[in-house]
Amino acid sequence: MCTNNCKDEKMKALDVVLDDHGHDSGSLITILQKAQDIYGYLPAEIIYYVAAQTGTTPAKVMGVATFYTQFRLEPVGKYLIMLCKGTACHVNGSDRIEASITTELGIQNGQTTEDGLFTLKNVACLGCCSLSPVMMVNDETFGTLTPEKAISILNDFRSREEA
Ligand code: FES
């Protein structure tokens, strides 16, 4: 679990990012990407901090953070499931995949399981339509999904936790 020391380490890492980019509001997207890498999402206090450090307004930083779908304003589970709902995946059954995941995990799109392990997020095309239907779990891509295969993949992640 994160302690105050942990927070301090994160803030130090963010300060390095801000220094690397000259505290330049023209680099907001990159700064926010790296802030999200550090924190896992963009907490409100970090929006304010980045605004103050780059000489801009929280509203502008928030505008960037909400415009791009890559940014998260809420904490996510250890494993972020990004289920593609693009056209090719839709045609090839992404709704059935979503139904199996929501039933298995007991969460809906945008929610996180009570144990903090999984967050489900529906996304637009992941750029690998030939593998549709597709989902990513963190950095790993899984294609030609069936409902059974999707559940099996989630169970593999659960097993990793238990190992
Ligand atoms: S539509 Fe799903 S990867 Fe393109």
Residue 6 has pLDDT above 80, yes or no: no
Q: How confident is the model at residue 38 (pLDDT cuts 50, 70, 90)?
A: very high
CB 104 within 8 A of CB 71: no
Residue 88 has pLDDT above 80, yes or no: yes
Q: What is the pLDDT of residue 9?
A: 92
Range of the domain at 140: 79-162
Instruction: Count structural domains, the chain.
Output: 2
- Of 132, 130, 119, 124, whose CA–CA distance to 93 is shortest? 132
Final residue in a domain of this structure, among 36, 67, 98: 67
If asked whether residues 59 and 88 sit together in one domain, one would say no
Q: What is the pLDDT of residue 5?
A: 59
Final residue in a domain of this structure, among 67, 88, 117: 67
Q: Percent of the chain scored above 90 by pLDDT?
A: 83
Q: What is the pLDDT of residue 2?
A: 53
Relative to beta strand 135-137, strand 79-84 is: antiparallel
Nearest protein Cα to ligand 1, atom 1: 86
- Summarised one tens digit per residue, pLDDT across range 95-153 is 999 999 999 999 999 899 999 999 999 999 999 999 999 999 998 999 999 999 999 99
- Angle, CA 113 vertex, CA 152 and CA 30 arms, to 5°: 95
CA 136 to ligand 1 centroid distance, Å: 11
If asked whether residues 149 and 94 sit together in one domain, one would say yes
Exposed/middle/buried for residue 65 (C-beta within 10 Å: 0-12, 13-18, 19+): buried
CB 78 within 8 A of CB 115: no
CA 34 to ligand 1 centroid distance, Å: 26
Task: Provide residues with CB under 6 Å of ligand 1.
Answer: 84, 86-89, 125-129, 132, 134
Global pTM reads 0.71
- Summarised one tens digit per residue, pLDDT across range 48-70 is 999 999 999 999 999 999 998 78
